[in-house]
Structure 1
């Protein structure tokens, strides 16, 4: 999610002995840092990794940077150029124009979605539909828009198959057949930014309407304390768990409520975003050993049901800041800053009661940088840049392999034990967050910038005439 143009209201004034009381003002950090030089370093590392992708995995979904091999992501044996599509707008922002054009040319010549295989609707939308749209907005080559629309039309079949307009998890891209109705908030509610922009560009209102209908179905089932269960059934339309979650199964649903306001001025979803975030603060925010966490709770009672929190949850710090809950956002980011200081790489999953890792592997996660970027936009305090600089340098020290950057198998070893995969989102997300925050690139208007949950630029490009 990553919307940066802020329509903000005053942060909650929680006085006295409340959960968020007594927060010290954020200090200025790292005044001696040469941010432009750090941005140049990010660009150099991105270009280095891109050259290896071109050499070892051109047109493949993901590169395995240790072995120099590749792997499919959506449909085994049918690569859709995932990393290439995800990288396009980052290449453009970094003014790597030859590399950008080579990628666009590959898409125009090779990318087809007429495949008899099941693709995950949510992932396909945020990664490929979003990636194609942002590339189109960068260069205005209509073939990119046509391919985005073709893919979105195939994904709409998953919405149409449900009596409630809740998309099934998987759709056959060729036949339109669907499967897996047991789904979740993230997978039914992370479409409105990409579908809405597509609708504006094509004049077709079906996309926005389908996305909003699915979101409203879930929102209308909120409990009396304002929470939703994370898991839902596309056929019955009913919740199939009692767990309210801010991260796994739910995260980008909440991001896209606010994005609908930022991009399209949807007042109804803006109000829903504020109400949902207030309910999270009131019923999920818990302190353990001085750190603020948002563990899973029963959506009707607020009772804690699971004491794990993933690194994915860091996004919420930025979203809270965007929606006017700045103090709470800073407080939650402090939790992840503490985890970063302790472990260098934030654990994939943490037991909130002990602040100890539940797993030692991690997947090159971008959410801490995402949150820091959103909060930095609020007041340009270099504290957020400093947190992000540490995030970048720790990634560079631990994940750089022979042919790119890789996920890690064990963050507790020294040196950390590397895995052998670069997830597609690495090309779209953290490297873009780093570059925007450090370099302040001339092709981005930060005040207008709206990023999708996959960090695809959906508003805010600056194009020369």
Structure 2
């Protein structure tokens, strides 16, 4: 397996600025929220979600890649000596898997420090109790001490994306430990989903853990369905392209997306992916912007070249979601105009104008730049990074989500720095400007949906 790049590498000017941004965010986290899940960056307080040091663990591989040895070692020591996994705390299976389990596994692969693998194995064993159902579909939550799982408090169903976007991490744990139970559990989830009839090979947003049945509902690549499609491709890649069922399921789903959800705006014919529940809706979450990079990655690994072109078109649309806003930052959700008499392609509703420091567009920029070397992706990425610096950076408190990307005078601070800003967004910025393609080569590594690199299996 690849051991990853060295801690030290030559950084260009853009990377130096991105490292400075990370250090600014990290210093605020260290001062006001050390060991806690997230920083409340305006009020200089911390917030607790799972009490597992989300921001710290999410940031381990970012610091290692950036060569921040002192910061990495401080975080490593917290994980070794202060992280308590066996606590009476209900955690979300999906979020804990992609952020914490993924972060620990990635840190192990990059450093070969057995402490990270020991922690990952302990956490994986406890999370596995969420799978204690007759349906093979896990409950959404599990207590890390009592090991009792349960459905979410808001209803009986689990999100489809949540139960189908934990596979890379548990399969990797099986590869590392030789213990089959991890991979067997998540493989059964995929088989259960695939055995059911689905419109155009697309999935709805919800599935019942008791019955294992998919709901009828909205077809979307946005919230609660998004990373299902990502992990179809990436499980095939993770296997070293040996488990062709994942490739076939992925190709079928891309065909369904093109048949049902793909459309173009007016007057400029921006390619976008909408939603459908009965009628088609031209609504697109920023979360959907992952798909450009995924399509390009599939084409790079031998899937149809038309996927690369579609990925480019969709990523250009995501860039327009930034470029057309006053702050240069994308809103959480946009609606595309499809009537020929319209003059603006994009409409933003008042409740959707916020920006949460999300990574998906920069992620697609990174993949497309790595595969095409088209400088426009770096140019667009740099503009977005500068917009983050201008409108979300706080002098003494890291970075913050904002309420209104259309208001340059009063964007409105939301008092929250998401863990994924350090774990994903800044990491993808850093990699976008990396001049060495061997650093996390896309032929040797696959990124989980929280941007944690895991190695592609070799025979």
TM-score band by shorter chain is 0.7 to 0.9
What is the CA distance between 1:56 and its match in structure 2?
1.7
Instruction: Give the alignment's Cα RMSD to 1 decimal.
Output: 1.8
Q: Distance in 1 between matches of 2:438 and 2:146?
A: 40
Name the SS of the counterpart of 1:450 in structure 2.
strand
Q: Give, in whole Å, the separation in 2 of the partners of 1:246 and 1:224.
A: 14
Q: Does 1:268 align with 2:245?
A: yes
Structure 2-normalised TM-score? 0.87
Give, in whole Å, the separation in 2 of the partners of 1:398 and 1:41: 16
Q: 2:423 & 2:53 partners in 1: Cα distance? A: 13
Bigger RCO of structures 1 and 2 (CA < 8 A, at least 6 apart): 1
Q: Please name the residue that 2:318 is paired with.
A: 336
Shift of 1:305: 4.6
In 1, distance between residues paired with 2:34 and 2:285?
32
Give the equivalent residue in structure 2 for 1:413: 407
2:29 — aligned with what?
53
Report the equivalent of 1:297. 276
Query: Which range moves more in the overlay, 118-127 or 353-362?
Result: 353-362
Is this contact kept in 2: 1:65–1:405, CA < 8 A? yes
For 1:305 and 1:166, the matched residues in 2 are separated by: 29
Structure 2 counterpart of 1:63: 39
SS in 2 for 1:350: strand
Q: CA deviation at 1:442?
A: 8.7
CA distance in 1, matches of 2:290, 2:174: 27
Question: Who is 1:171 aligned against?
Answer: 142
- Written as runs of structure 1 = structure 2, the 5 A alignment for 1:236-251 is 236-251=211-226
- Equivalent of 2:358 in 362, 365, 371: 365
CA contact (8 A) 2:203 2:225 kept: no
Alpha-carbon spacing, 1:321–1:288, altered in 2? closer, same or farther (3 Å): same
- Any conservation in 2 of the 1:227–1:276 contact (CA below 8 Å)? yes
Query: What is the rounded CA distance, in whole Å, between the counterparts of 2:441 and 2:382 in structure 1?
Result: 19
Runs of 4+ more than 4 Å apart = none
1:252: how far off? Answer: 1.0
Distance between the aligned counterparts of 1:186 and 1:148, measured in 2? Answer: 22
Q: 1:457 aligns with which of 442, 453, 458?
A: 453
Partner of 1:427: 422
Of residues 315, 321, 332, the one that matches 1:348 is 332
- Contact 2:423 2:451 (C-alpha < 8 Å) held by counterparts: yes
Are the aligned partners of 1:82 and 1:424 in contact in 2 as well (CA < 8 Å)?
Answer: yes
Confirm or deny: 8 A CA contact 1:94 1:441 kept in the other structure: no
Q: CA deviation at 1:73?
A: 2.0
SS of structure 2 residue aligned to 1:286: strand
Check whether the contact 1:93–1:441 (CA below 8 A) recurs between aligned residues: no
Deviations 1:316-337 (A, max 9, x none): 1111112220111111112111
Give how far 1:294 is off: 1.4
Contact 1:307-1:352 at 8 Å conserved across structures: yes
Structure 1 length-normalised TM: 0.86
Q: Provide the rounded CA distance (Å) in 1 between the counterparts of 2:263 and 2:113.
A: 49
Cα distance 1:213–1:328, how it changes in 2: closer, same or farther (>3 A)?
Answer: same
User: Is contact 2:291-2:311 (8 Å) kept?
Assistant: yes
Matching residue of 2:261: 284
Shift of 1:224: 5.5
Matched with 2:388 is 395
Give 5+ residue unaligned stretches, structure 1: 1-34, 461-465
1:236 counterpart SS class:
coil
Q: How does 1:160-199 map to 2 (within 5 A)?
A: 160=132, 162-180=133-151, 181-199=156-174
- How many residue pairs are counted as aligned between the two chains? 418
Unpaired runs of at least 5, structure 2: 1-10, 300-306, 338-344
